[in-house]
Amino acid sequence: MRTAHGIAVALSAGFRLATAAPFAESSLLYVTSYPTGSGAGKVLTLKLDQTKLETVAESDSCGLGGEKGDLAALKVGDDLSLTKLSGGPTVVGPVSTIVYGDGGRGWLLPTSERGIDTYNIADPAAVALLKTQVFPANAEVRPEPQNQARPHQAVLDPTGEFLVFPDLGADLLRVLKVDQATLGYTETKSHEFARGTGPRHAAFFKSESKTFLYVVCELSNLIQGFSVTYNDDKSLSFTQVYNSTTHGGTDPVPAGTSAAEITLSPDSKFLTVSSRNEKSLQYTLANGTAVPSDPLITFSIDAASGALAHVQTAPAGGVNPRHFSFNKDGSRVASALQSDGRVIVFERDVASGKIGKAVAEANVFGMPNFVLFKE
């Protein structure tokens, strides 16, 4: 959702960027980061100037809600300054955000602790809590992180009528039917994964006649693809059409690996995932130093069957690429490396889907967990 009023930001132990105000320049990026010690995290505005990436604005007015988390709406000034308009502590600790409903008035925050919060953000200067829902505990005792429901992301389906939640703790895809006018919702039937799968994030893909959903699973390091059926009873059904490791195929990934993000390219031809803590590749910094790197892994999509085909395994630029994003035309990709405190912008070939050389890099405050091109 885009608004002339400002940036809406949600926080857990740090925060996650949800929306950005329009600005003429596409050379700007927004970054959020967890603090490395006590205190608040930050929202940063980075400016890409050919081969340089520098911080031009920042706000530390977020992340002050303690362990539960914090929410803030920030206004972007003509000078790129960030000014807090409204916000406060959240009910529980959010890990992601999604805008929904007529006019983009609804804002939903999945939380790492059992449930979801919804807000009305029609007026960024007066963001208002609508509802908090806590999902029931798992039927049996499980070790962390599956000791409770942990909805880790919400994605809006192509019709805008359904919100789908990969629940890492309960091994479920939870589905809500949305009332776009009232911003309310009704929980419908869920899809169940095998025990220990740990679904984390997801991405919808719509061809001319079919809809597919791809889920990246943190605990099992799998990518699972599903054909989506819209049922007459206003629910969704999911039929598995693809299953592989995050690298494609069935070979096990390195011990300690933890899948993170999954994103559809702007032209809807490729799917890219990030894998954390592999350190299986190498990246050379601008100063010539070679450092260990986790991968960004790209697949092409068969629009008829939903199958994926491996295209490339490329360095993410360091360790723990918690998040990455494409610019509007897909010619660049930005990587947020949480463990290395680094943001890197890479070239990307739109036709092949392959990630190329680095355009610019920058060390940033704390542990960056989200990066977004401002377009």
- How does pLDDT run across 356-368, given as a tens digit for each residue? 999 999 999 999 9
Copy the structure tokens of residue 112. 């790492």
| CA-closest candidate to residue 176, choices 271, 100, 105 | 100
User: Distance between CA atoms of 182 and 305, rounded to whole angstroms?
Assistant: 36
Q: What is the pLDDT of residue 36?
A: 85
Question: Confidence class of residue 20 from pLDDT cuts 50, 70 and 90?
Answer: very low
Q: What is the pLDDT of residue 14?
A: 34
| Residue 113 falls inside a structural domain | yes
Q: What is the pLDDT of residue 60?
A: 87
- Average pLDDT estimate for 333-345: 98
Q: What is the pLDDT of residue 7?
A: 42
Span of 6-10, 76-80, 244-248, 268-272 with lowest mean pLDDT: 6-10
| 294 touches 316 (CB < 8 A) | yes
Q: What is the pLDDT of residue 65?
A: 53
Copy the structure tokens of residue 70. 């914090």
Domain span including residue 42: 1-134
Instruction: Give the containing element (helix H, strand E) for 246.
Output: none
Copy the structure tokens of residue 174. 């939870």
Answer whether residue 11 shows pLDDT above 70.
no
Question: Confidence class of residue 282 from pLDDT cuts 50, 70 and 90?
Answer: very high
Q: What is the pLDDT of residue 5?
A: 31
User: Distance between CA atoms of 248 and 228, rounded to whole angstroms?
Assistant: 22
Q: What is the pLDDT of residue 70?
A: 78
Answer whether residue 47 shows pLDDT above 80.
yes
| Residue 64 falls inside a structural domain | yes
Q: Using one digit for the tens of pLDDT, what is the confidence trace for 241-265?
A: 999 999 999 998 999 999 999 999 9
User: Distance between CA atoms of 112 and 97, rounded to whole angstroms?
Assistant: 12
- Average pLDDT estimate for 322-351: 97
User: Distance between CA atoms of 170 and 62, rounded to whole angstroms?
Assistant: 30
Q: Which residue has the higher pLDDT, 36 or 98?
A: 98
- Average pLDDT estimate for 370-374: 94
Question: Confidence class of residue 63 from pLDDT cuts 50, 70 and 90?
Answer: low
Q: What is the pLDDT of residue 297?
A: 98
Q: What is the pLDDT of residue 237?
A: 98
| Residue 281 falls inside a structural domain | no
pTM for the whole structure = 0.93
| Residue 203 falls inside a structural domain | no
Strand partners, 262: 273
Q: Using one digit for the tens of pLDDT, what is the confidence trace for 70-95?
A: 788 899 999 999 999 998 777 777 88
User: Distance between CA atoms of 92 and 82, rounded to whole angstroms?
Assistant: 25
User: Distance between CA atoms of 78 and 271, rounded to whole angstroms?
Assistant: 35
Answer whether residue 8 shows pLDDT above 70.
no
Answer whether residue 114 shows pLDDT above 90.
no
| Residue 146 falls inside a structural domain | no
| 123 touches 34 (CB < 8 A) | no
Q: What is the pLDDT of residue 111?
A: 82
Question: Confidence class of residue 38 from pLDDT cuts 50, 70 and 90?
Answer: confident
Question: Confidence class of residue 24 from pLDDT cuts 50, 70 and 90?
Answer: very low
Q: What is the pLDDT of residue 205?
A: 98
Mean pLDDT score of the chain: 90
Query: Is the bond into 145 cis (omega within 30 degrees of 0)?
Result: yes
| Residue 63 falls inside a structural domain | yes
By percentage, how much of the chain surpasses pLDDT 90?
77
| Residue 2 CB neighbour total at 10 angstroms | 11
Q: Which residue has the higher pLDDT, 68 or 143?
A: 143
Q: What is the pLDDT of residue 66?
A: 58
The total of structural domains in the chain comes to 1
- Among all chains, which residue has been given the structure tokens 């609508």? 130
| Residue 340 falls inside a structural domain | no
- Among all chains, which residue has been given the structure tokens 């993410």? 316
Residues 6+ positions from 351 with CB-CB distance below 8 Å: none
Q: What is the pLDDT of residue 64?
A: 56
| CA-closest candidate to residue 71, choices 61, 79, 58 | 61
Q: What is the pLDDT of residue 67?
A: 63
Greatest C-alpha distance within the chain = 59
| 3 touches 18 (CB < 8 A) | no
Q: Phi/psi class of residue 306: alpha, beta or left (left: φ > 0; alpha: ψ in -120 to 50)? A: left
Q: Can you give the CATH number for the domain in which 73 is found?
A: 2.130.10.10
| Residue 372 falls inside a structural domain | no
Q: Using one digit for the tens of pLDDT, what is the confidence trace for 195-228?
A: 999 999 999 999 999 999 999 999 999 999 999 9
